[in-house]
Amino acid sequence: MTASTSYSFNEDAIASVRVKWLILKTAMEERLVYRGDFAFATLVRFLPIVTQIFLWNAIFAGNSDRVLNGYSYANMVAYYLLVMIARAFSSMPGLANGIALSVRDGSVRKYLIQPVDMLDYLFWHRIAHKFVYYVVAIGPFCLVFWLCRDYLPDWPEPMVTVAWICSLLMAFLTGFLIESLIGLISFWFLEVSSLIFIYMMMNYFLSGHMIPLEWISEWIPWVNYLPFKYLAYFPAAVLLGRIPPDTLVVELTIQASWIVILLVANRMAFHYGVRRYGAFGG
């Protein structure tokens, strides 16, 4: 590599970092324009936590010693609280609809005529959304966890903690790539609201958001091989010690493999979708 080539590469890298920072900064400013509405919507999302705790209390009939499918009442409360953290990372509200709308109204063209990759832009835009969400939600999360501290398990070993953090970060990537892939289908089907509804229902049930996967694995034995598992159940199960330490690396590798598969699927969908869009739309 010559000196001029190396210098050009460094310039391109610096320019790429600047573009990503600009996207991140602009997106955060957009979220903070209506910060009152954003904060209120964020706080309202904590109401289901209260209803779920009362619901499981009714299911267990107030008996703290009762065990259902390997879960006591305390286990269920801890599981649901940890699932809410995982969902805070993996949920991508409005992403698929936003991509579909961009294709439908033609605004997707800005990604074709400007030196900005669509998926890269949406990725950093979503990071900005999550960052603002965490800043607003950290207080309520701490309050809820403090009130339910008696139900939570002891803090695990460092290796398990690291695995949990990795599972949360990869849950974000998995959720982003699944929703963006659904949105990219709009290059072939302009109306994807039905697909989004189906995905939301499958996600709620097969990710462990509604109930732990142990409760349904006998009916649906292949549920543990789907990427939905890593959106909610897996991060919670890691911290609860329900994933044996000797299989943590294997499970994290499977999760990373799903990310690679979904990334390739996204790139292919965008590549062929743009070709179809250019052919029919001009």
Work out whether the CA dihedral 264, 268, 274, 277 comes out positive or negative: negative
pTM: 0.86
Q: pLDDT 10s per residue in the chain (282 long)?
A: 554 555 455 666 676 777 777 777 777 777 666 666 666 666 666 677 778 888 888 888 767 778 887 888 888 889 999 998 999 899 888 888 889 888 888 888 887 777 778 888 889 888 888 888 787 778 778 888 888 888 888 888 888 999 999 999 999 999 999 999 999 998 888 778 888 889 998 998 899 888 888 888 878 888 888 999 999 999 999 999 888 888 999 999 999 999 999 999 999 999 888 887 764 554
DSSP assignment of 108-159 equals GGHHHHSS--HHHHHHHHHHHHHHHHHHHHHHHHHHHHHHTGGGSPPP--HH
Amino acid at 232: A
Lookup: tokens for 268:
């292919």
